[in-house]
A and B are shown apart, each in its own frame.
Chain A
Amino acid sequence: EPEVTQTPSHQVTQMGQEVILRCVPISNHLYFYWYRQILGQKVEFLVSFYNNEISEKSEIFDDQFSVERPDGSNFTLKIRSTKLEDSAMYFCASSGLAAQETQYFGPGTRLLVL
């Protein structure tokens, strides 16, 4: 069964460093998303991406964040200068041909900013 994959599974970085989180969505999906979950809190929407551009972004997704689909398979989230409060699980998701279809999630990347 097709699945969303994410790398790395864990990332430890120093405050102020750049990180890139990688995702391979399900191959025939057209909509891509990033969510995050800070420990003990809700899963929160960060950004959605369709047709090579951002469809929507949340207030969390400020200028320190960017997304890219550099080739036909990868979807990346970059945090340019990490802060302590960026420590969270980051989940990539993808959905199919319509905007309101089921989103399938990857296993997540645990980011720890020291």
Chain B
Amino acid sequence: DQQVKQNSPSLSVQEGRISILNCDYTNSMFDYFLWYKKYPAEGPTFLISISSIKDKNEDGRFTVFLNKSAKHLSLHIVPSQPGDSAVYFCAASGEVGGSNYKLTFGKGTLLTVNP
């Protein structure tokens, strides 16, 4: 059951460049999307979210873009910093099966930012 897919297990970028992390979803009932960052042995840390009524949300170096027709979202990090190196999870929620509480996660993408 892969309702949220992150097809790139890893991504490597140079410090100062843009990092683009991608996420696809299959369930059209999802209407709220979040990105979390996770370091080893820690819990997911919330980064940024977007509601389906928007197509872009920006917070400092982080921007999330949502393309509802393609069921695709992406996280842009500009400029990338070595401290951004972590696993990034895409998550979604919505009125799925009568519930809008639970988050459905992708498998994550390991971002490595090289100095």
Contact = CB atoms under 8 A, between A and B. Distances in A.
Interface in B60-109: 89, 91, 93-94, 99-108
Contacts, number: 61
Contacts of B106: 42
Interface string A18-52: 00000000000001010100000111110010100
A45 B100 CA distance: 12
Contacts of A33: 101-103
A7 interface: no
Contact of A102 (B31, B46, B101, B107): B46
Contact of B100 (A35, A41, A44, A100): A100
A31 B44 contact: no
Contacts of B44: 43, 91, 105
A100 B93 contact: yes
Nearest to A55: B101
Which 10 pairs between the two chains have the least Cβ-Cβ distance? A105-B43, A45-B102, A48-B101, A43-B105, A105-B44, A56-B99, A107-B43, A108-B43, A100-B100, A42-B105
Interface of B: 31-32, 34, 36, 41-46, 49, 89, 91, 93-94, 99-108
Interface of chain B: mostly helix, strand, loop or mixed: strand
Nearest to A4: B43
B45 A58 contact: no
Nearest to A110: B41
B64 to A, nearest CB: 13
A107 B42 contact: yes
Nearest to B95: A100
